[in-house]
Amino acid sequence: MQGPRGSPLKLTEEANQEALRRILTGEPILIDVVPAAQVIPDLADHVILHAGPPISWEEMCGPMRGAVTGIAVFEGWAKDLDDAANKAIVGSFAFHPNHHFGAVGPMTGLTTRSQPLIVVENSAFGNRAYCTINEGLGKVMRFGGNDAEVLNRLRWIREVLGPALGRALRELGGVPLKPLIARGLTMGDEMHQRNVACSSLFLRQLAPALARTSKSKDELVACLEFIGRNDQFFLNIAMATGKALTDPARDLEGCSVVTAMSRNGTDFGIRVSGTGDRWFTAPVEMPVGIYFPGFSERDANPDMGDSAIVETIGLGAFAMAAAPAVIAYVGAGRAAEAAAFTRSMAEIVVGSNPAWVIPALDFAGVPTGIDLRLVVETGLAPTINTGIAHREPGIGQVGAGIVKAPLACFEQALVAFAETMDIE
Amino acid sequence: METTHHTEPNNLLAAPPRVVNVGLELFAVNLVSQGAEVVHVQWRPPAGGISHLIGLLEKLRS
């Protein structure tokens, strides 16, 4: 069928190539760390941004509620967790997705006005993306933790680490992230569940500036220790990179490239370039993986977080072949099977990224630009590497695994996408 | 009337089976468990066999 705009196939193929070009030519640079309200003016008191598509308090899962009550105490909007929960029930807080404000957040992904945000600028297109600073593993707010230890760590991040990182990054003139990620891929990272290499490379680059701009020796030591003992420190930087690279590919007429995949612990949502900012959602699936000692799948919460943005730019499970060590961590099989994940995902994308290559695949580029049409046609759901949160609020991370994006999101999106092309 | 000799079936049964299995993996797994040499091809109907989606995909590819 050829409507007034000509061949749908030609329009989509050209639009998809343009989307791929924009993603591949982006130049993400970590330029600063600043208080959230400084770069997202809509973050007034009682406004809480969260991971995933839109959700109400009533629909939120345990860890999301745990994080909401914790962040309300942290921001001084409630005197304790019970008070925060009561305020949430009567509608005292406004909830919005991070994605609506140029931001992303891992797991519960809460962003509020006083938290320091990583600022990644895409210098090729002039857009910016934001993410909070990674808190470490275990009992942390992104996994639903909310006790005094969690809140005190967030206060230290707000009052010490965030400002110190900001000073160091400004003194450095920013850290280019594309070459750093390229190197991390050759050192066994996939930038979702394994960020050991990139966290180390980042710290190596930042440490001299951190030392030069530090206010005291104690502050410097504390910052170096915190970053140095957190293998996942780079995750949040990779996520802001993903958001900064995919945003220029949004809103292209006839484009079937997926620009966001995200979960709020209840629903999985995707956005597609050609259908604008509309979310297509379906119930989120349970990760399959490995649990920390003392926990099992009975403790697990369904999948959560904006972190699947890294899969939309070819990292995470799409780059599993670069990270054979991670396949054991997420319980997805033998090391030799890592390449099969990447090859499988290559069947549902527009192209590959020559700047981010995988040595074990003869330096093939990571599969990039998920094509909605190919997902529906093949039935190959995007695979995502993920952390697993406890289903109850206040406990934290209990494991890591992989999860499939629900095909129902893509099937709904295909119908809406076809409508934009006057096809029914 | 001329007689034609068909030798292929005998040869096929005389040698160990070499199998290409398409679609349902269970058939391949069963054969492998009995020692057969099997190449499994992952295949499923386009769009899960949902006719409305198949129709949309065909129009989008026109």
**What is the rounded distance in angstroms from the CA atom of residue A263 to the CA atom of residue A283?**
9
Interface of A with B in 252-281 (CB under 8 A): 256
Q: Are residues A87 and A184 in the same domain?
A: yes
Which residues of B are less than 8 Å from A415 in CB distance? 53, 56
pLDDT greater than 70 at residue A82 = yes
Q: Are residues A318 and A352 in the same domain?
A: yes
Is A423–B44 a contact, with Cβ atoms under 8 angstroms apart?
Answer: no
Task: State the CB neighbour count (10 A cutoff) for residue A3.
Answer: 12
**What is the rounded distance in angstroms from the CA atom of residue A311 to the CA atom of residue A99?**
15
Q: What is the pLDDT of residues A133-172, one digit of tens each?
A: 999 988 899 999 999 999 999 999 999 999 999 999 999 9
Across the range A276-303, mean pLDDT stands at 94
Q: What is the DSSP letter of A319?
A: G
Q: What is the DSSP letter of A142?
A: G
Q: What is the pLDDT of residues A318-343, one digit of tens each?
A: 999 999 888 888 888 888 888 999 99
Contact A348, A382 (CB under 8 A): yes
Contact A220, A214 (CB under 8 A): yes
Dmax (CA) of chain A: 69
Is B59–A12 a contact, with Cβ atoms under 8 angstroms apart?
Answer: no
Whether residue B60 lies within 8 A of chain A, CB to CB, comes out as: yes
% of chain A beyond a pLDDT of 70? 99
Is A407–B57 a contact, with Cβ atoms under 8 angstroms apart?
Answer: no
Structure token pair of residue B41: 């091809």
**What is the rounded distance in angstroms from the CA atom of residue B39 to the CA atom of residue B28?**
8
Task: State the CB neighbour count (10 A cutoff) for residue A238.
Answer: 31
Nearest by Cα to A242 from A197, A308, A193, A190:
A308
Which residues of A are less than 8 Å from B61 in CB distance? 8-9, 373
Please tell me the distance in Å from B16's CA to the nearest CA on chain A.
29
pLDDT for the residue A115: 98
Q: Are residues A226 and A331 in the same domain?
A: no
Whether residue A336 lies within 8 A of chain B, CB to CB, comes out as: no
Q: Are residues A195 and A80 in the same domain?
A: yes
Q: Are residues A130 and A220 in the same domain?
A: yes
Q: Are residues A224 and A256 in the same domain?
A: no
Q: Are residues A399 and A289 in the same domain?
A: yes
Torsion sign (Cα): A391, A396, A400, A403: positive
Q: Are residues A269 and A317 in the same domain?
A: yes
Nearest by Cα to A19 from A272, A373, A342:
A272
Q: Are residues A203 and A311 in the same domain?
A: no
pLDDT greater than 90 at residue B44 = no
Nearest by Cα to A52 from A373, A246, A283:
A283
Is A2 among the domain residues? no
% of chain A beyond a pLDDT of 90? 91
Whether residue B41 lies within 8 A of chain A, CB to CB, comes out as: no
Find the range with the poorest average confidence among A4-13, A265-274, A345-354: A4-13
Q: Between these two residues, B18 and A116, which has the higher pLDDT value?
A: A116
Contact A138, A293 (CB under 8 A): no
Please tell me the distance in Å from B44's CA to the nearest CA on chain A.
7
A364-370 vs A349-358, strand pairing mode:
antiparallel
For residue A320, which amino acid is it? M
pLDDT greater than 70 at residue A311 = yes
**What is the rounded distance in angstroms from the CA atom of residue A49 to the CA atom of residue A51?**
7
pLDDT for the residue A330: 84
Judged by DSSP in three states, B48 sits in helix
Is A11 among the domain residues? no
Is A208 among the domain residues? yes
Sequence-distant (6+) residues with CB within 8 A of B3 are none
Query: Which helix (H) or strand (E) element contains residue A377?
Result: helix A372-378
Q: Are residues A187 and A63 in the same domain?
A: yes
Is A411 among the domain residues? yes
Q: What are the DSSP E strand ranges found in A250-378? A: 258-264, 267-272, 280-283, 288-291, 304-305, 349-358, 364-370
Task: State the CB neighbour count (10 A cutoff) for residue A212.
Answer: 12
Please tell me the distance in Å from B34's CA to the nearest CA on chain A.
24
- For all residues of chain A together, what is the average pLDDT? 96
For residue A409, which amino acid is it? C
Nearest by Cα to A279 from A372, A408, A373, A413:
A413
DSSP line for A229-273: T-TTTTHHHHHHHHHHHHGGGSS-TT--BEEEEEEESSEEEEEEG
Whether residue A347 lies within 8 A of chain B, CB to CB, comes out as: no
Tell me which residue range forms the domain holding A152: 28-239
Domains held by chain A: number: 2
Cα-based distances in Å from A182 to A30, A187, A270, A351: 15, 9, 26, 17
pLDDT for the residue A4: 54
Across the range A223-229, mean pLDDT stands at 97
pLDDT greater than 90 at residue A373 = yes
pLDDT for the residue B8: 60
Picking from A239, A267, A290, the residue at the C-terminal end of a domain is A239
Is B50–A411 a contact, with Cβ atoms under 8 angstroms apart?
Answer: yes
Please tell me the distance in Å from A341's CA to the nearest CA on chain B.
14
Nearest to A377 among B57, B59, B62 (CB): B57
Whether residue A12 lies within 8 A of chain B, CB to CB, comes out as: yes
pLDDT for the residue B4: 55
Give the total residue count for chain B: 62
Q: Are residues A230 and A341 in the same domain?
A: no
Q: What is the CATH number of the domain that holds A281?
A: 3.90.1700.10
Is A9 among the domain residues? no
pLDDT greater than 80 at residue B9 = no
Whether residue B49 lies within 8 A of chain A, CB to CB, comes out as: no
Nearest by Cα to A33 from A177, A157, A155:
A157
Give the ipTM: 0.90
Is A13 among the domain residues? no
Q: What is the pLDDT of residues A246-278, one digit of tens each?
A: 999 999 999 999 999 999 999 999 999 999 999
Across the range A106-122, mean pLDDT stands at 98
Say whether pTM exceeds 0.90. Answer: yes
Picking from A212, A239, A266, the residue at the C-terminal end of a domain is A239
pLDDT greater than 80 at residue A77 = yes
Q: What is the pLDDT of residues B48-58, one digit of tens each?
A: 999 999 999 99
Contact A359, A338 (CB under 8 A): no
Q: Which residue of B has its CA nearest to A9?
A: B61
Is A4 among the domain residues? no
Half-sphere exposure (Cβ direction) of A274: Cα atoms closer than 13 Å: 28
Structure token pair of residue A214: 């530090």
Picking from A185, A206, A239, the residue at the C-terminal end of a domain is A239
pLDDT for the residue A1: 44
**What is the rounded distance in angstroms from the CA atom of residue A227 to the CA atom of residue A205?**
12
Is A344 among the domain residues? yes
Instruction: Report phi then psi at B60, rounded to 5.
Output: -70, -20
Q: Are residues A256 and A304 in the same domain?
A: yes
Residue with tokens 């999948």: A303
Which residues of A are less than 8 Å from B60 in CB distance? 8-9, 12, 256, 373, 417-418, 421, 423
Is B56–A414 a contact, with Cβ atoms under 8 angstroms apart?
Answer: yes
Across the range A103-111, mean pLDDT stands at 97
pLDDT greater than 90 at residue A377 = yes
Task: State the CB neighbour count (10 A cutoff) for residue A13.
Answer: 17
